Amino acid sequence: MSRLLKRSYLALVLLFLYVPIVVLIVQSFNAGVSRAKWQGFSLKWYADLINSPSIMNALYITVTIALLSALFATILGTLAAIGIHALQKRPQAMMMALNNIPMTMPDIVTGISLMLLFIFTQVPRGYVTMLLAHITFNIPYVILSVMPKLKQMNKFSYEAALDLGATPGYALRKVVLPYVMPGVITGALLSFTLSLDDFTISYFTTSPLVQNLSTLIYSEARKGIKPTMNALSALMFVALLVLLLAVNRRASLNQDN
Amino acid sequence: MSSFSFPPWAVWLMALGLLAFVGLVAYSVRRNRGIKRTLFSFPYGLWIVVFTIVPLLLIGYYAFTDRSGAFTLDNFKTFWDSNFEMQKQLTQLGFDPVEMGVARGHVNVDTLVYSLWMAFLCTLICLGLGYPAALFMADRDFRLGPTLVILFIIPMWMNFLLRTIAWMSLLEDNGLINTLLSALGLPRMQLMYNSRAVLLGMVYNYLPFMVFPIYNALNKQEYRLSEAAMDLGANPRTTFLKVTLPLSLPGVVSGITMVFMPSVTTFFIPRVLGGGNTEMFGDLIERTFLMADNWNVGSALSLIMMVLIIMSLTLLRKVDPEGEGGSTI
């Protein structure tokens, strides 16, 4: 098949992926409420955004939950990966099988099962329960990012450090941790984005009073989405894009050195 | 509420215990009291038990009990026959349900079959669209492959609800596509509120999950293998069918898994893009729990879905025993 044909096929697939996003961003600058008609350029939805307490509050909850859950999941997950890696073969296989359960469970079942847990134990659903749920679905991804790094590592480095007089804690901090750091960072970034984008699990584990962006959008979807939401997602999209470019630049700078 | 429950302080106690354990480990490590690394896996083991195993057992508990907490299989009978409860009540009151015209209700089973069919179609379309895309991206003369991977990831950052809603403004009766059509003098079309719109939304959301694993599998393939096949006289078609395709199968299996699983349990997309009769199994479960407030039947439905998913996963594992195509982006 000719080169041109292949490239135009790829361009078409990408077009399919990007059309709704472009539409969404263009709409955020539309002066009117209509979704189909262009009624002039305006930044008024961006102004509305800053003045909307419910959206700002949801944004705050979304971002803090993403940061906190990524932090806790990374700490717990990295520790767990080191522990699991040091286990004997049998218990190791068992732990990895357990680790796979939350990842194979459909989101809706995870959400509902956690909802049942919180109702059953009479823990009122809200910020803390949502955070616990996010940590729960993030940890497996951290472990899966750290594990390959641990497997690559020469298993005698840790023992050599001990033989040379390092305490186990010192050896972990100065030998193991630096080596697995790239995996830890990947896991943290993955957790952050997964938490940012989650809807289903948050929906079942929070109360209507504590809403993140996804659940807020969901409750508004029935009434019809306001263009302020488009403005917000356009902003978040650009912010994430800048973040990615910065990370990429850092990575390529590190490679050069 | 259930017949037994334990107070909220128990949960906080567990959380405290967990924290205390982490603190203890950190302290022992600092003090070099010979703590073993294997103990590090303990907090997570506890976490999994509290936040994954116990919740799953709760689903099992509710699925096999009635509202009073007694063992029953009625919830599964309600899955098979959505009028089961009504028939039972009528019989208790001394009526004959058949005489009264209360027949078997097909709704739940039909919704499951519809969900499986939609997920199958979605997976098929994603495979049809995604395989060539991955193949062209992994082409050796095509240097933009890694860039395209990033371009495939970026849309997934837009909130998935908003991305789906954005399709509304394209497909609506007064939406962009219809406005364009009438501007060109063509008749308007009913694009929303049917199964095709739901399918479009699903393919749109899940396509990248098909492309990545296939691209990874193709990309790490030894290109010399296909060159060798060509040198030995195979034409491009035979080379593709006998070398490239079989070697990419683990990626295909992994892509199918990653698209099919979330498709069956799709939630929200049918509600936004579909009409009245496009409810899928995920929506049914959510409705049973939150609107009908029937946790017992809802749990039974969740359990049925879990079993279906575990069955299909085991089936797929047989094709790809090593899980080689496994990839998280």
Give tens-digit pLDDT for B285-307. Answer: 999 998 888 999 999 999 999 98
- For A7, nearest residue in chain B (alpha carbons): B136
Q: Which residues of B touch A225 (CB under 8 A)?
A: 162, 165
Residue A144 near chain B (CB below 8 Å):
yes
C-alpha radius of gyration, chain A, whole number: 23
Confidence of residue B201 (pLDDT cuts 50, 70, 90): very high
Q: Where are the domains of chain B?
A: 8-63, 113-319
Q: How far is A54 from chain B (nearest CA, A)?
A: 17
> Is B165 close to A221, i.e. CB distance below 8 A?
yes
The CB density around residue A215, as the number of other CB atoms within 10 Å, is 25
Greatest Cα-to-Cα distance within chain A, rounded to the nearest angstrom: 74
Query: What is the 3-state composition of chain A as percent helix, strand, coil, each rounded to the nearest 5?
Result: 80, 0, 20
Q: Which residues of A touch B116 (CB under 8 A)?
A: none
- For A98, nearest residue in chain B (alpha carbons): B48
Beta bridge partners of A41: A30
CATH homologous superfamily of domain B113-319?
Answer: MetI-like (1.10.3720.10)
Residue A229 near chain B (CB below 8 Å):
yes
Nearest residue to A217 (alpha-carbon basis) of A22, A80, A59, A79: A59
The ipTM value here is 0.85
Residue A30, classed as helix, strand or coil, is strand
How buried is residue A39: exposed, middle or buried, by Cβ count under 10 Å (0-12/13-18/19+)? exposed
Nearest residue to A158 (alpha-carbon basis) of A139, A180, A142: A180
CB pairs under 8 A between A and B: 248
**What are the structure tokens assigned to A77, written together?**
């997950």
Q: Which residues of A touch B50 (CB under 8 A)?
A: 117
Q: Which residues of B touch A211 (CB under 8 A)?
A: none
Of A7, A113, A241, the CB nearest to B59: A113
> Is B44 close to A168, i.e. CB distance below 8 A?
no
Contacts of A52 (CB under 8 A, 6+ apart): A228
**What are the structure tokens assigned to B172, written together?**
């609506």
pLDDT tens-place values along chain A, 257 residues long: 678 898 999 999 999 999 988 888 888 888 877 766 778 888 888 998 888 898 899 999 999 999 999 999 999 999 999 989 888 888 888 888 888 888 888 899 999 999 999 998 888 899 999 999 999 999 999 999 999 899 888 878 888 888 898 887 788 888 889 999 988 988 898 898 889 889 999 999 999 889 998 899 888 876 767 788 888 888 888 887 887 777 777 666 665 54
Give the best-scoring range by mean pLDDT among B22-26, B53-57, B185-189. Answer: B53-57
Q: Which residues of A touch B21 (CB under 8 A)?
A: none
Alpha helices in chain B (DSSP H): 8-31, 41-48, 54-63, 74-80, 84-92, 107-137, 145-153, 160-171, 176-183, 195-219, 223-231, 236-239, 245-264, 269-273, 281-286, 295-319
Q: What are the tens digits of pLDDT across the range B89-141?
A: 888 888 877 777 777 778 889 999 999 999 999 999 999 999 999 999 988 77
